[in-house]
DNA sequence: AAATTTTATGTAAACGTTTAGATTTTTGTT
DNA sequence: AACAAAAATCTAAACGTTTACATAAAATTT
């Protein structure tokens, strides 16, 4: 006769080489202590005699015990996990932000769940709900819908939020943005100072902060230098490569072509440059160019692209910093808005306009 | 006198606007049923009268109840989450693979945790342990250490693994790779057929499958066409941009310069091209080039870069597919090895070698 | 209308931790 | 050696689900 008692599980399975997940009980039994003491050792809470600790550690090793996060979370009500929501993981901007977040998170022993919404507010809502179910301690988000009503759920649950790159309208959150207005202003100003007056902009969606603000910076620069805004030179894009491509074609088709183009983001810049090449619209000489976001291709083109460059890594680092403080201090902290300055990188794609002199 | 009984929590907090997380109990009480029935509704298990269900749904809405994944996991022993481990999120290869994984995962209602190891096996081990603690249902990994001993933990716990892009030595796992040997072979063959004989390779780390296999393909092609391998033309790199840059400088310093270069990955290609430009070593005319991985800059250079292109998205999709099957059927499935064919994209960076005729 | 089957709901025991508070052991003091 | 104080350890009760199994209610058959 052969009884398989629970206590024997470990040994029997050990022999049979099947998988069995040992728990804190098994460890306690093997080390001849109570589970409370094991728990203390696992969590480094001290107050355990050295030799007892060693015995426990040995048992843990012997059994290959790994603690169960779900059970722990249940008691502790914290997961040491943060959720990150981005609209498009394929946009090279986000992996860099992510790298900054992860780096800082790891330092503080936090883990990171990443999900991408494909710019869909519906997907975003699902993700948010799932993050709540899982009990993330906080969320860093570049939202697909700045209105932000769908994020109120998080707020109701008391889960801290940090908005990155796009702000959130319907309630106050810690935010870390790039000064889009300033960046765009500087870029367009640069073109103006080179003598350009027919300056086109390929806009991002006007439903997003970056899209709007970059357009704003463009308008401000024109205004400041008394150049009237010409509607024909304002083309709407959607931050995707294709839209940059099409926008450029439209501009080229104009009778009175612009002498300079400002593109509002990285992917549209790529589309734009592709179009320029195909149209044989000579970059630098026939048309000057400056883009928001430093892109890989920028320094490989001839002439090299002048760009407004954003501090992606820093953006991520700061975002985590803010989130972590918020997790620790909850509401006893005013809401903070960071505005990082972008950097104008002047290369060779903006030439002096040929004048009549 | 004022007693704050647990049952009152919801109502009182409702008035005071503090956060309180309602649980299944609260829902049950409000809907006047037992928690078992609520559970049944939450999980769509059927066997609940319609009007009861409606009452429960209403209660759920009213309270803003969201179920607790930790508690659920504890009973169910599954998380519907998979972990993805990549060596370097900043390498544009991985976000694309990730996009493929995520897409398929979402379809099957799985969520994805992403972590990046920075090519550190130590970090990787930590991540693995953390994933186990959290009870991921499976892991997709491009490991920083192909030896794979540190992954045995996963195996011991019965957690399915799929290796992507780099295989794992110490035990059998489902694997989805790109045919690196073939890709490299085709690339080098292309150079040879253009008349090149002095063909250099910028190698990846020989500790990784892709590094080794691409070197192998290179050697095989030379051998097949009876071109002796010249050690001076074999430069070791580490898959990073800087190493591509340095390698190119070394090649240029040679008395007997190669007439063609094969670069083993995307980032080294970028470094290489940068160096070529600085050294004024004319791409196409003075030195032909072909690289593993299609890079953004490829089509913007003049001449455009010929490359071996990998199906990143498909890689991710298949990886999830394999993992999902494994999660469902565990060991009742043979281990599978996928080998996707890369595609040779011939553009303009490989010119016919000038002959004496 | 009673008996039987089917359907709906409820009860209670896990799951694997953490953590007050109780208890035991050790150490130090007299 | 007896006692008090300090340190180490233990007991037991959560945490919020899921799920066998028990029970009650409704539908069906006789």
pLDDT tens-digit series, residues B219-257: 999 999 999 999 999 999 999 999 999 999 999 999 999
Q: Sketch out chain A's domains with CATH numbers.
A: 6-67 (1.10.260.40), 78-178+312-342 (3.40.50.2300), 180-310 (3.40.50.2300)
Judged against a pLDDT cut of 80, whether residue B287 lies above it is answered with: yes
Longest CA–CA span in chain A (Å) reads 108
Strand C nucleotides within 7 Å of a protein CB: 7-12, 14-21
Encode pLDDT of A188-219 as tens digits: 999 999 999 999 999 999 988 999 999 999 99
Positive or negative, the Cα torsion across B102, B103, B104, B105? positive
**A300/B295 CB distance under 8 A:** no
Residue window 78-107, chain A: list those with CB within 8 Å of chain B: 79, 81, 89-90, 92, 94-96, 98-99, 102, 106
Furthest C-alpha separation in chain B: 108
Residues 6+ apart with CB under 8 A from A12: A4
Closest partner residue to A297 among B102, B115, B297, by Cβ?
Answer: B297
Q: Report the C-alpha gap between A151 and A213 in whole angstroms.
A: 23
Residues with CB under 7 A from strand C: A 21, 23-25, 35-36, 39-40, 42-43, 65, 67-68, 71-72, 74-76; B 32-37, 40, 46-49, 52-53, 71, 74-75
How far is Cα A84 from Cα A101, in angstroms, rounded to an integer?
A: 9
CA A197 to chain B, closest CA, distance in angstroms equals: 28
User: What pLDDT is recorded for position A4?
Assistant: 38
Q: What is the pLDDT of residue A105?
A: 94
Contact B20, B34 (CB under 8 A): no
Coil/strand/helix, residue B80: coil
Indicate yes or no: CB of B92 within 8 angstroms of CB of A92.
Answer: yes
How many angstroms separate the CA atoms of A355 and A353, rounded?
6
The whole-angstrom separation of Cα A177 and Cα A157 is 25
Region of A239 (left: φ > 0; alpha: ψ -120 to 50; beta: rest) is left
Collect all residues of chain B within an 8 Å Cβ-Cβ radius of residue A95: 89-90, 92, 94-95
- pLDDT (0 to 100) of residue A214: 97
- A163's CB contacts (< 8 A; 6+ apart) are A141, A142, A143, A173, A174, A175, A176, A177
Span CA (B48) to C1' (D29), Å: 24
pLDDT at position A13, please? 46
**Interatomic CA distance for residues B234 and A123, integer angstroms:** 48
> Could you give the dihedral angle defined by the CA atoms of residues A94, A95, A99 and A102, in that order, rounded to the nearest 10 degrees?
80
Q: What mean pLDDT comes out for the span B77-98? A: 93
Are B289 and B263 within 8 A, CB to CB?
A: yes
Band the pLDDT of A95: cuts 50, 70, 90: very high
List, as ranges, residues 176-235 from B with C-beta within 8 Å of A. none
Is the Cβ–Cβ distance between B159 and B138 less than 8 Å?
yes
Looking at residue A237, the DSSP 8-state letter turns out to be -
Burial class (CB in 10 A: 0-12, 13-18, 19+), B206: exposed
pLDDT value for B351: 79
What crossing angle do the helices spanning B312-329 and B93-107 adopt, rounded to 10°? 40
Protein contacts on strand D: list nucleotides below 7 Å from a Cβ. 7-12, 14-20
Residue to substitute from A42, A92, A103, A114, interface B, most B β-carbons within 10 A: A114
Sheet-wide strand order for A138-141: A111-116, A81-86, A138-141, A161-164, A174-178, A337-340
Interval A112-150: pLDDT, tens: 888 899 889 999 999 999 999 999 999 999 999 999 999
Q: Are B99 and B105 in contact (CB under 8 A)?
A: no
List, in order, residues 6 or more apart from B117 with CB less than 8 Å away. B85, B86, B87, B88, B123, B124, B127, B144
CA–C1' A48–C28 (A): 19
Q: Inform me whether the C-beta atom of residue A302 falls under 8 Å from chain B C-beta atoms.
A: yes
Residue B354 and residue A347: Cα distance in Å, rounded?
35
Write the CB contacts of A212 (distance below 8 Å, at least 6 apart in sequence). Answer: A206
Preceding amide of A303 cis, omega within 30: yes
C1' (C10) to CA (B21) span, angstroms: 24
- What is the distance between the alpha carbons of residues A215 and A220, in angstroms, rounded to a whole number? 9
Q: Where are the beta strands (DSSP E) in A165-225?
A: 174-178, 199-203
pLDDT score of A19: 64
Chain A environment of B69 (Cβ under 8 Å): 70, 133-135
φ/ψ (deg, to 5) at A162: -125, 130
The pair of three-digit structure tokens given for residue B263, joined into one six-digit string: 């670069």
Backbone angles phi, psi at A13, to 5 degrees: -65, -35
Residue A17 has pLDDT above 60, yes or no: no
């Amino acid at each position: 006769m052969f009884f398989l008692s629970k206590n024997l599980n470990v040994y029997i399975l050990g022999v049979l080489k099947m998988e069995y997940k040992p728990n804190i009980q098994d460890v306690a039994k093997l080390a001849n202590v109570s589970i409370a003491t094991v728990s203390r050792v696992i969590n480094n809470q001290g107050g355990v005699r050295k030799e007892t600790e060693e015995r426990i550690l040995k048992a843990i090793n012997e059994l290959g015990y790994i603690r169960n996060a779900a059970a722990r979370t249940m008691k502790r009500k914290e997961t040491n996990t943060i959720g990150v929501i981005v609209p498009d993981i394929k946009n090279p901007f986000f992996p860099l932000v992510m790298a900054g977040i992860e780096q800082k998170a790891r330092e503080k022993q936090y883990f990171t769940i990443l999900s991408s919404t494909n710019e869909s507010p519906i997907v975003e809502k699902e993700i948010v709900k799932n993050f709540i179910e899982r009990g993330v301690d906080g969320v860093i988000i570049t939202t697909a819908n700045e209105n932000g009503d769908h994020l109120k759920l998080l707020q109701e649950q008391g889960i801290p939020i940090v908005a990155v790159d796009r702000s959130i309208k319907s309630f106050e959150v810690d935010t870390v943005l790039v000064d889009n207005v300033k960046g765009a202003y500087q870029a367009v100003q640069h073109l103006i100072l080179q003598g350009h007056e027919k300056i086109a902009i390929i806009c991002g969606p006007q439903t997003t902060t970056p899209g709007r603000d970059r357009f704003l910076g463009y308008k401000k620069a024109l205004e400041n230098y008394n150049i009237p805004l010409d509607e024909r030179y304002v083309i709407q894009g959607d931050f995707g490569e294709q839209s940059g491509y099409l926008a450029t074609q439209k501009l080229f088709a104009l009778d009175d072509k612009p002498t300079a183009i400002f593109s509002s983001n990285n992917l549209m810049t790529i589309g734009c440059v592709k179009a320029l090449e195909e149209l044989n619209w000579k970059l630098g000489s026939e048309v000057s160019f400056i883009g928001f976001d430093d892109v890989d291709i920028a320094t490989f083109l001839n002439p090299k692209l002048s760009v407004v460059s954003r501090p992606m890594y820093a953006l991520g680092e700061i975002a985590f910093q803010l989130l972590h403080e918020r997790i620790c201090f909850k509401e006893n902290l005013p809401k903070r808005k960071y505005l990082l300055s972008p950097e104008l990188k002047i290369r060779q794609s903006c030439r002096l306009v040929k004048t009549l002199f």
